[in-house]
Amino acid sequence: MKELNISMNEAGQRLDKLLHKYLSNANTSFIYKMLRKKNIVLNDKKAEGKELLKDGDVVKIYFSDETLEKMTGGAAAQGKSEKPLPDLKKHIIHEDDHLMVIDKPAGWLSQQDEPGSISANELCLMYLMEKGELTEEQLRTFKPGIANRLDRNTSGLLLFGKTLPALQSLAELLRNRTVEKYYMAVVSGNIREPKTIKGYLSKDSKQNKVVIKKEKSDDASEIHTAYTPIKNGDGFTVLKVHLITGKTHQIRAHLASIGHPIIGDPKYGSMKDNKRYKSAGVTHQLLHSWQLTFPEDLSGVLSHLAGKTISAEPPKEFGFFLN
């Protein structure tokens, strides 16, 4: 017999949905047959499958070890790499019972791009398993994860929800744009005044790029980006950028569209300026997710962050332009 103790991470979903996650190799008819025959029970009572689970509920599965192994697909092991894994601990900016905020270096994936690859998301899962906060068994029914994404060669703040309530709260904050996202960028040319710019972004899937248009079209999303100059130098400007809407490549493409591409950006940048600053150690776009400011009225499991700003200092590549 296998006993599943329902926590806040599984609560709120239907019993049959949980069983589909846990018994990943079982089809729907098999699951409902086991419920009818009381091989699966909820709180020691016959269940239909449509019941909404509550924190503290107990699901019991009366299968043989062989059947359970077959229906769960064996161990829910995380992907392993033959390469030495980065030390996540030194990149953790904030951690509490529900949330972890990490400072992702340029070069790390936010999430897996193919099975077996290692990303910030997998490193966070491994870290929690090493701490004993997460087990392979728990991963069958709930998987903590990254709530926001950064391009591979963009550095800075990533939000990792450790619990379901945290992930739900983060999703709402990002969807409603009530968490303010500020980036640091180094761009070609000189910008003297702060400004908010508007445009329309459409994707060019063939070239894996986005295009910024001045006029609205059916295939384009309206975008807003604000920037404030921090420092002007010889042919460059360091900007504080407020990402008001959050679309793929928005900051990179939007700044390039007004004649101020990000230095080091191979996709939207100036080849001439990229070559010029390569000798200063610039090997990727100088775009850094710098600050996240949470709303004053934040409630729920993240209420302790209400009105607070979490920051990650820019990496060493920015030093040449800031000093």
Q: Which tens digit of pLDDT belongs to each residue from 166-201?
A: 999 999 999 999 999 999 999 999 999 999 999 999
The span from the CA of 157 to the CA of 183, in Å, is 10
Give 13-62 pLDDT, tens digit per residue.
999 999 999 999 999 999 999 999 999 999 999 999 999 999 999 999 99
**pLDDT surpasses 80 at 116:** no
Q: Would the pTM count as exceeding 0.95?
A: no
Asked if residue 255 lies in contact with residue 265, where contact means CB atoms within 8 angstroms, the answer is: no
Give mean pLDDT, residues 196-222.
92
Q: What is the pLDDT of residue 77?
A: 44
188 token code pair: 């070609």
- Give me the half-sphere count of Cα atoms (radius 13 Å) on the Cβ side of residue 290: 16
Nearest to 104 by CA among 43, 142, 60, 148: 148
Same fold across 2-72 and 88-176 = no
Give 273-300 pLDDT, tens digit per residue.
999 999 888 999 999 999 999 999 999 9
Characterise 163 by phi-psi region: left (phi > 0), alpha (psi -120 to 50), beta (else).
beta
Residue 162's alpha-carbon distances to 130, 134, 203, 301, 319, in angstroms, are 14, 9, 32, 11, 33
Range with lowest mean pLDDT among 72-76, 148-152, 210-214: 72-76
Average per-residue pLDDT for the chain:
93
Helix (H, G, I), strand (E, B), or coil: what is residue 236? strand
* Alpha helices in the chain, H assignment, sequence order: 15-22, 28-36, 65-72, 120-131, 136-139, 164-176, 250-257, 271-278, 319-322
Q: Domain 2-72, what architecture?
A: Roll (3.10)
Q: What is the pLDDT of residue 83?
A: 58
| Spans of all domains in the chain | 2-72, 88-176, 180-293
Q: Domain 88-176, what architecture?
A: 2-Layer Sandwich (3.30)
Q: What is the pLDDT of residue 207?
A: 83
Provide the pairing of β-strand 145-146 with 155-161. antiparallel
CATH 3.40.50.12500 fits 180-293, yes or no: no
